[in-house]
A = this chain, B = another copy of it.
Amino acid sequence: MEVLKVSAGSKPVAVAGAIAGVIRSKGKVEVQAIGAGAINQAVKAIAISRGYVAPGGIEIVCIPSFIDISIDGEERTGIRLLVEVR
């Protein structure tokens, strides 16, 4: 599955465009974020992307779960937001 990594500095509108693109072509996408700032941007991006795909009759939902992500050999706990067509 395609994975989009979101940081606290990611622009929600840009991430939303990427989510919408993958949803249209593949029907699902995984959004990964570590830390409050990144999770905030990721959730905003998903909210925005709903409006991007809605005119095409697509409704998306998200399923949050925890994920261990290895960064420079260090294990960190992040959030995985699986975005899928309902």
Known: A37-B36, A40-B40. A86 touches B64 (CB 8 A): no
Least CB distance, A29 to chain B, in whole angstroms: 15
Which residues from B are CB-within-8-Å of A39?
36, 39-40, 43
A47 touches B66 (CB 8 A): yes
Per DSSP, chain A at the interface is: mixed
Q: Pick the contact of A61 from B43, B44, B86 — CB < 8 Å?
A: B86
Which residues from B are CB-within-8-Å of A71?
none
Most buried by B among A35, A43, A47: A43
- CB-CB contacts below 8 Å: A7-62 with B: 8, 35-37, 39-40, 43-44, 46-47, 50, 61-62
